[in-house]
Amino acid sequence: MPTLTPDIVPGLIATGASARLDEDVAPKFSIGDAVEMKNINPVTHTRLPRYVRGKKGIVERDHGVFAFPDTGAHGLGHKAQHVYSVKFSFRELWGEDHAENMYLYIDMFDDYMRPAP
Amino acid sequence: MPHDHPHPHNKPLSDVELRVKALESILTEKELIDPEAIDLIVETYETKIGPRNGARVVAKAWSDPAYKERLLSDTTAAISELGFSGVQGEDMVVVENTEDVHNIVVCTLCSCYPWPTLGLPPVWYKAAPYRAKVVKDPRGVLDEFGVSLPEETEIRVWDSNAELRYLVLPKRPDGTDGMSEEQLAEIVTRDAMIGTDVLAAH
């Protein structure tokens, strides 16, 4: 009997599988904090794109606790941690010649960030 | 396989087609999948789940202020009220376009997209040119889509690289005051809910 059969498809599609974890993990950052993305270059799975590495932003929203894909993708456990919406100006990301009223928001895990110096 | 499909039969299969067939064979032989389950998934996203779902969410938000408030504050639950939930919509965020702010969604790392409300992503959304350019030159991308916004409009680009999925709540166009929720749903485009379209006045 195959694992994925037609009878379970509707239920799977309608339910999905949230990466949100019901674990009590303290956030390392608060809304309004100035943060700097770590300049790391893992050769393994990561959700930290190169274009924000080393860049400074502001924590806009705390989405709650999620499984950490960087470890989960390699069978190394959930490493439950907070995910935040972090706001970057285009000037910070791409240079001073960009308009002032342009922003990039990206969801960052605790492990990707440190307090901005 | 029935022969009512238009592709020429004298062409060899593409690399991607071959790879997909090979994967399906292996997964079937290892008894991980029943190929009929895959057909059912494809059929579901081809015929049942698509951007008309998202359009209903938008139309309701435009018509019902209390719903809009729930949609912005408790998004996943509010979308699920209309029956749209599940794979790739487990944790939703709605961002609202206003007079002053325009939002655009991308996934720079792959092709993350809110399936229950928008269906499967269009090819351009998954393609490197859109993903690379929109985070750096969103006005240039909008221009390619025939959209021009005033310089004063703040642009917010949302990179859905993690586990949250984003839906843009477009600005309700002028001249739609008399429209019913059903009529409003008709005028909402898929691209407006990604942020690469602005709905024209009626």
| Averaged pLDDT, A42-68 | 97
CA distance A49 to chain B (A): 7
Closest CA to B191 of B105, B112, B111: B105
Q: Is the pLDDT of residue B12 over 90?
A: no
* Residues in chain A within 8 Å Cβ distance of B159: 49, 104-107
Task: Find the angle CA(A11)-CA(A12)-CA(A17) to the nearest 5 degrees.
Answer: 130
pLDDT grade for B188, boundaries at 50, 70 and 90: very high
At B4, is the pLDDT very low, low, confident or very high (cuts 50, 70, 90)? low
- Name B158's bridge partners: A105, B105
- Are A103 and B86 an interchain contact pair (Cβ–Cβ within 8 Å)? no
Confidence check: pLDDT of B2 > 70: no
Numbered residues of chain A with Cβ closer than 8 Å to any chain B Cβ: 1-6, 8-10, 12-20, 47, 49, 51, 63, 66-67, 69, 83, 85, 90, 93-94, 99, 101-109
Mean of pLDDT values over B101-111: 97
Confidence band of A11 (pLDDT split at 50, 70, 90): very high
ipTM of the modeled complex: 0.96
pLDDT, tens only, B174-186? 999 999 999 999 9
B138, B103 Cβ separation under 8 angstroms: no
> Residue B5 has what pLDDT?
66
Average pLDDT of the residues in B61-66: 98
Q: Are B105 and B194 in contact (CB under 8 A)?
A: yes
Q: Please determine, for residue B102, whether its predicted confidence score (pLDDT) is greater than 80.
A: yes
A50-54, A87-91, B13-17, B127-131: range with lowest mean pLDDT: B13-17
In the predicted structure, residue B10 carries a pLDDT above the cut 90 = no
Judging contacts by C-beta atoms under 8 Å, the chain B residues touching residue A107 are 159-164
B111 is catalytic: yes
Structural domains in chain A plus CATH codes: 19-115 (2.30.30.50)
At residue B11 the predicted structure's pLDDT band, cuts being 50, 70 and 90, is confident
Active site residue B110: yes
Per-residue pLDDT averaged across A59-77, rounded? 97
d(CA B3, CA A67): 46
> What CA–CA distance (Å, rounded) separates A106 from B109?
11
CATH fold of B51-194, please? Nitrile Hydratase; Chain A (3.90.330)
Tokens representing residue B113 in the block: 């997209």
B43 contacts B35 by C-beta, under 8 angstroms: no
- The pLDDT-based confidence of A1 (bands split at 50, 70, 90) is confident
